[in-house]
């Protein structure tokens, strides 16, 4: 089930990256930088360099614990616009649900339905 969810999430991200508006694509890039930077326990890539955050390879940002503001600023997005993150999450969830239904049908209910509350980035 976890592999299926990861596969669907990857498909949804690819779709939004190729068909989304410029703002949606930028917010997706911000979110991916934010998510990857918050994986792991602390700075895992070891070496520091002067490469701008927006140009770093993802494996170089794992564990550096960026805030949403830092990630947004790296791509020139408004760092105070948390609504952009919530709009992206809503689009991503809908796209995941659509891909889930295409691949697995309605017999298997979508695991992307999240009950209650919003996740606020740091």
Positive or negative, the Cα torsion across 97, 101, 104, 110?
Answer: positive
Higher model confidence: residue 109 or residue 68? 68
Taking each helix axis as running N to C, give the angle between helix 82-104 and helix 2-19, from 0 to 180 degrees, rounded to the nearest 10. 120
Measured at the CA of 82, the angle between CA 76 and CA 85, to 5 degrees, comes to 80
- What is the per-residue pLDDT across 30-84, written as a single tens digit (0 to 9) for each? 999 999 999 977 655 555 678 899 899 888 999 999 999 999 999 999 888 889 8
Q: So what's the pLDDT on residue 117?
A: 44
Q: Are 122 and 70 in contact (CB under 8 A)?
A: no
- Give the residue-averaged pLDDT of 79-94: 90
Prediction pTM value: 0.80
- Give the residue-averaged pLDDT of 83-110: 87
Q: What b/e sequence results for 55-67 when a residue is b if at least 16 CB atoms lie within 10 Å of its CB, and e otherwise?
A: ebeeebbbbbbbe
Phi, psi angle pair for 57, to nearest 5° = -70, 145
Percentage of the residues of the chain whose pLDDT score is greater than 90: 52
């Amino acid at each position: 089930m976890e592999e299926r969810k990861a596969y669907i999430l990857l498909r949804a991200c690819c779709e939004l990256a190729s068909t989304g508006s410029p703002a949606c694509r930028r917010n997706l890039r911000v979110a991916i930088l934010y998510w990857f930077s918050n994986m792991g326990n602390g700075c895992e890539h070891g070496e520091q360099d002067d490469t701008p955050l927006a140009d770093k390879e993802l494996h170089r940002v794992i564990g550096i614990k960026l805030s949403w503001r830092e990630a947004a600023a790296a791509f020139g997005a408004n760092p105070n616009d948390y609504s952009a993150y919530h709009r992206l999450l809503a689009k991503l969830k809908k796209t995941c649900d659509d891909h889930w239904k295409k691949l697995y049908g309605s017999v298997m209910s979508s695991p992307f339905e999240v009950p209650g509350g919003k996740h606020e980035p740091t």
